[in-house]
Chains A and B, each alone.
Chain A
């Protein structure tokens, strides 16, 4: 009975905050961003360069001339559209890690028509057919894990992840066999005929206009349509969805079709607008980076525009500093990693705060009886005098009444 001798409270405790005011939350994110830049700067300094110069060159390298701006935009388009697609699934709490695979099958489907049907179709027809094929193929590829999830409640994370490798293997097979470029000794696919390539607007293929339109469409879909509402309900609580008569299976399959379709669209755009051929690198990690884009933007389509452009800038800028400063490629990936780590990590401090031993919570937090759950607990009437009288008598060991 005398095992407890210490009279100390825990050294560090986690305490859940009430919702921070949006302004303060953004201030936190701002601080995290600056902290990330400083940490990254330290890394650069250790490598023997001036962080400020390196940062400046990253910006110049991604925005400094029309040529690099085009490159940056080209990087941002697939990220953005793919993130919009993934956000559809994520809002439903369906963890679609298979964006990469869906991009690939979209490209393959578009590639089939681009490589083999180019002679039989007019130019607009060819592009329309490739577009539809890419979208449908991505959608169907997204439908497979959705069907199994809806039917047998399989784990969609593993399922979609594994399908990425399947798609990649299909490319390898096609590249080495049936679709191998004629006359090539090297396993690679042919180039898309110029008639099948997307026209450019202001120097970049028209995918960027489509992407901007899709942002608005996605916003409306999430916030104003019945389908968007249904998928949010399914994501928050399947039980509630069933209870109000939402067909949960249908919503899962429909949403995943759309999610995959947008990724498939990216495959088509990359094939017909950027690469003009299909290699193992056609998706180039877009399906994974887009996960980060969607999360950093908190599933907000307009936020995704900002984040995808920012990440494109980092990627483009790190290319530049690689050539100028001979900083290894891995170091620039590290820099991106540091920024993401700080941005995602600061969300913890927006939700919780840490209390050190001896620093009570009582006086630290402002007690502002405003929102939500605290209304009933704090909005009580002033205590009547009778209460303290009762307590005083009780404290003396006496009895009230």
Chain B
């Protein structure tokens, strides 16, 4: 405690995973009572670095001191004893317990717990920092942002004065993000020191005092937020100047390629995951789909692709057969049956390695997934898939030692290029992409946007399910907003603000679906 200016100092940190040098001589200096943003692309080593503070990993090299004292953090327990609290991206809560019970869980001393006392304590904490939380509410009744609130209060309740938040805004709507930031400012005023990990530049500028930038595991620099801007931060993050605008060419030919009418689905528990969803995806346009995580996006894609059962509604695909449009009902058909109808629908699922690809197989075999049935006879023909794989590697600049490298060993961006490349090679009429740039670096992301625009220009009906509203508003021709499995509106992103859309994400418009378009 001899140095109150520095909450955390990390010096010369190295961390290896096999051959991957995840942190190379990284420094970090968190001052007491400040908010430090840790900025970097995916794979730049941000999470690895903070995981060494929270006791998940142990550094291979380097010194850590907390409040000026050298320490060794070997387990989350050690981190907790040092007053370091980490809020992970994935929450670890028990659904059947109340907010207060979850917060006090594992922290009790003695044999009995007084619910009245912990409720009061939690309520007091919440009030002090401006959280909205009912201590007696059960977790299963809560929204994602409420669950996050519990995680934060849990850390505070245990006496942490250094908080680390790993991508806290990824799951929040714009309004919720604002609320979170207000709370963070209150905590800062109370003397807490905070590290926030993010790759969203506008948020960095809005909340932080200083920004530390990592790139490819290396420490690049620290800047004062007040003295910097988006362009400079991007340049430091990527290593060279990057243009940040996404193109939105005017739609070319328009016809309703895919019509979804009154689509309704139930999950295993009999809860409606999709409720009377209707929309049309037009050829030659990008239809964006926005919504809080878990609003039915996954079910919507999978129901269209023939992978999720529905209880009502229909999906019509307009197929051009020798110039005359033919409408085909495809809801309820298996993916196999849809292909047999001569319909070419491409789908880039959210879970790339778990659904779109086979991680353990090489690029050729993965490219072959869609085409191995094309030739006759019992044998597979790897010649053409290999050619396609080689073409994709060249055209999409996939970084790989060769076509026989297992896809699971490629980096996220290259995995996505293999997947999207294969789907585009189907020459689809409809292309559904779910979170296509999640976890990708900026370069790969822009490559993906270009590819989608290329498909749009070719007359493909592109359905783009995204989480980053900024991107959706820039690339989509129309934007469908989902809320709790219902369509809360289809809007023209040029005519609405981000806040409008954020509002639609949390409440379904009363009368008609069309809010602004």
**Known A-B contacts A236-B360, A377-B217, A378-B19; A371 and B347 likewise in contact (beta carbons under 8 Å):** no
User: 1/0 contact trace for A241-259 toward B, CB 8 Å?
Assistant: 0111111000000000000
Judging by beta carbons under 8 Å apart, are B221 and A239 in contact?
Answer: no
| B71 interfacial by beta-carbon distance below 8 Å | yes
Interface of A is mostly: loop
A395 contacts which of B27, B60, B83 (Cβ < 8 Å)?
B27
Asked whether A226 lies within 8 Å of B334 as measured between CB atoms, the reply is no
- Do B335 and A242 have beta carbons less than 8 Å apart? yes
Partner of A387, one of B21, B60, B221, B357: B221
In the bound complex, CA of A308 to CA of B223 (Å): 65
CA distance in complex: A41, B349 (Å)? 56
Chain A residues lying within 8 Å of B400, measured Cβ to Cβ, are: 372, 375
Q: Which residues of B contact A390 (CB under 8 A)?
A: 220-221, 236
Q: Which of B168-176, B193-201, B255-263, B369-377 makes up part of the contact surface? A: B369-377
Contact A399 B222 (CB under 8 A): yes
The one of A226, A229, A375, A381 in contact with B365, judged by C-beta atoms closer than 8 angstroms, is A229
Contact B72 A229 (CB under 8 A): no
B339 and A377 contact, CB distance less than 8 A: no
Of B73-81, B126-134, B505-513, the one with at least 4 CB within 8 A of chain A? B73-81
- Contact (Cβ within 8 A) A361 B60: yes
With a CB–CB cut-off of 8 A, which chain A residues contact B357? 240
Q: Which of B217, B220, B227, B401 contacts A371 (CB 8 A)?
A: B401
Q: Smallest Cβ distance from A88 to chain B, in angstroms?
A: 15
Cα distance A370–B353 in the bound complex, in angstroms? 22
Sorting the interface of chain A by its residue count into under 10, 10 to 19, 20 to 34 or 35 or more gives: 35 or more
Instruction: Tell me if A240 and B369 are in contact (CB < 8 A).
Output: yes
Contact A391 B72 (CB under 8 A): no
A233-B358, A243-B347, A391-B220 known; A1-B83 Cβ under 8 A:
yes
Q: Does A6 contact B (CB under 8 A)?
A: yes
Q: Is A367's CB within 8 Å of the partner chain B?
A: yes
CA distance A15 to B339 in the complex (A): 45
* A378-B20 in contact given A244-B335, A245-B334 (Cβ < 8 Å): yes
Q: Given A226-B373, A362-B16, is A8 in contact with B224 using a C-beta cutoff of 8 Å?
A: no
The segment out of B87-95, B271-279, B402-410, B486-494 that lies at the interface is B402-410
Whether, in the assembled complex, A199 has its beta carbon less than 8 Å from a beta carbon of chain B, the answer is no
Give the A-B pair count, Cβ closer than 8 A.
174
**Taking A229-B372, A247-B336, A377-B216 as contacts, is the C-beta distance between A240 and B358 under 8 angstroms?**
yes
- Residue from B27, B227, B356, B379 in contact with A226 in the complex, judged by beta carbons closer than 8 Å: B379
Q: Whole-angstrom distance between the alpha carbons of A375 and B21 in the complex?
A: 11
* Interface flag for A360 (CB, 8 Å): yes
Interface residues of B in 72-112 (CB under 8 A from A): 72-74, 78, 81-83
* Cα(A3)–Cα(B83), bound, Å: 11
Q: Judging by beta carbons under 8 Å apart, are A367 and B19 in contact?
A: yes
Report B393-425 CB contacts with A as 1/0, cut-off 8 Å: 000000111000110011101100000000000
User: Which residues of chain A are near B192, meaning CB under 8 Å?
Assistant: none
Residues in A neighbouring B358, C-beta threshold 8 A: 232-233, 236-237, 240
Tell whether, in the assembled complex, residue A360 and residue B60 are in contact, meaning their CB atoms are under 8 Å apart: yes
B61 at the interface (CB under 8 A from A): yes
> Quick check: is B359 within 8 A (CB to CB) of the other chain?
yes
- Contact (Cβ within 8 A) A377 B406: no
Say if the beta carbon of A347 comes within 8 Å of chain B: no
For A370, what are the chain B residues with a Cβ–Cβ distance below 8 Å?
A: 401
Are B369 and A233 in contact, with the CB atoms below 8 A?
Answer: yes
A383 closest partner in B (C-beta): B218
- Enumerate chain B residues within 8 angstroms of A247, measured Cβ to Cβ: 334, 336
Known: A4-B81, A9-B74, A237-B354. A365 touches B19 (CB 8 A): yes
CA distance A367 to B368 in the complex (A): 33
Q: Which of A243, A360, A367, A375 has a CB less than 8 Å from the CB of B411?
A: A375
B219 touches A229 (CB 8 A): no
Closest to A387 in B: B220
Q: Contact between B410 and A372 (Cβ–Cβ < 8 Å)?
A: yes
Contacting pair B60 A374 (CB below 8 A): no
Partner of A377, one of B43, B221, B347, B372: B43
Which residue of B is nearest A244, CB measured? B369
Residues of B within 8 A of A8 (CB): 72
Q: Which residues of A contact B413 (CB under 8 A)?
A: 376
* CB pair B19 A368 closer than 8 Å: yes
Residues of chain A with a CB closer than 8 A to B307's CB: 242-243
The answer to whether A9 and B72 touch across the interface, beta carbons within 8 angstroms, is yes
Does B380 have its Cβ within 8 Å of any Cβ on chain A?
Answer: yes
Q: Which residues of B contact A399 (CB under 8 A)?
A: 222-224, 227
CB neighbours (8 Å) of A246 from chain B are: 336
Asked if B18 and A374 sit within 8 Å, CB to CB, the answer is yes
- Chain A hits for B20, CB < 8 A: 373-374, 377-378
Residues of A within 8 A of B342 (CB): none
B143 within 8 A of A: no
The CA of A370 and the CA of B400, in the complex, are separated in Å by: 9
For A401, list chain B residues within 8 Å (CB). Answer: 223, 227-228, 232
The answer to whether residues A245 and B81 also contact, given A225-B379, A233-B358, A375-B411 and a CB cut-off of 8 A, is no
Residues of A within 8 A of B405 (CB): 371-372
User: Please, which residues of chain A bring their CB within 8 A of the CB of B372?
Assistant: 226, 229
The reply to whether A239 and B58 form a contact with Cβ atoms under 8 Å apart is no
B22-33 near A? 1/0 per residue, CB < 8 Å: 100001000000
- The verdict on B514 contacting chain A, using a C-beta distance below 8 Å, is no
Cβ-defined contact, B19 with A4, below 8 A: no
* Contact of A375 with B72 in the complex, beta carbons under 8 Å: no
Choose from A237, A373, A391 the contact partner of B409 (Cβ within 8 Å): A373
Q: Given A9-B58, A370-B401, A391-B221, is A245 in contact with B17 using a C-beta cutoff of 8 Å?
A: no
- Please report the C-alpha to C-alpha distance between residue A393 and residue B338 in the assembled complex, in whole angstroms: 61
Contacts of B399 in A (CB 8 A): 375-376, 379
B244 beta carbon closer than 8 Å to chain A:
no
Assuming the A-B contacts A224-B380, A391-B27, are A376 and B339 also in contact, with contact meaning beta carbons closer than 8 angstroms in the complex? Answer: no
A167 to chain B, nearest CB (A): 32
Could you say which residues of chain B place their CB within 8 Å of the CB of A367? 19, 21
B216 contacts which of A9, A10, A380, A394 (Cβ < 8 Å)? A380
| A244, B19: Cβ atoms closer than 8 Å | no
CB interface residues, B 35-83, toward A, < 8 Å: 43, 58, 60-61, 70-74, 78, 81-83
Cβ–Cβ contact A226 & B406, under 8 A: no
Across the interface, which residues of A come within 8 angstroms of B236, CB to CB?
390
Does B461 have its Cβ within 8 Å of any Cβ on chain A?
no
Whether a CB of chain B sits under 8 angstroms from the CB of A17 is yes
Closest Cβ–Cβ distance, residue A397 to chain B (whole Å): 8
Q: Is the CB of B411 within 8 A of A376?
A: yes
Interchain CA distance A266-B305 in the complex, whole Å? 44
Q: Compute how far the CA of A6 lies from the CA of B72 in the bound complex, rounded to whole angstroms.
A: 7
Collect the chain B residues with CB atoms within 8 Å of residue A225's CB: 378-380
Starting from the known contacts A13-B58, A225-B378, A367-B19, 9 additional A-B residue pairs (CB-CB under 8 Å) come to A18-B19, A229-B372, A233-B358, A237-B354, A239-B354, A372-B400, A373-B20, A387-B221, A401-B232
Q: Can you list 26 A-B pairs with a CB-CB distance of less than 8 A?
A: A1-B83, A4-B73, A4-B82, A10-B58, A226-B372, A226-B379, A226-B380, A232-B361, A233-B358, A233-B369, A236-B360, A237-B353, A365-B16, A367-B21, A372-B401, A372-B406, A373-B20, A376-B43, A377-B43, A391-B27, A394-B221, A394-B222, A400-B222, A401-B227, A401-B228, A401-B232
Residues of B in contact with A (beta carbons under 8 Å apart): 14, 16-22, 27, 43, 58, 60-61, 70-74, 78, 81-83, 216-224, 227-228, 232, 236, 239, 305-307, 334-336, 338-339, 347, 349, 351, 353-361, 365, 368-370, 372-373, 378-380, 399-401, 405-406, 409-411, 413-414
Q: Across chains A and B, which 8 residue pairs bring their CB atoms closest together, nearest first? A: A372-B409, A390-B221, A245-B336, A245-B335, A394-B222, A18-B18, A3-B81, A376-B411
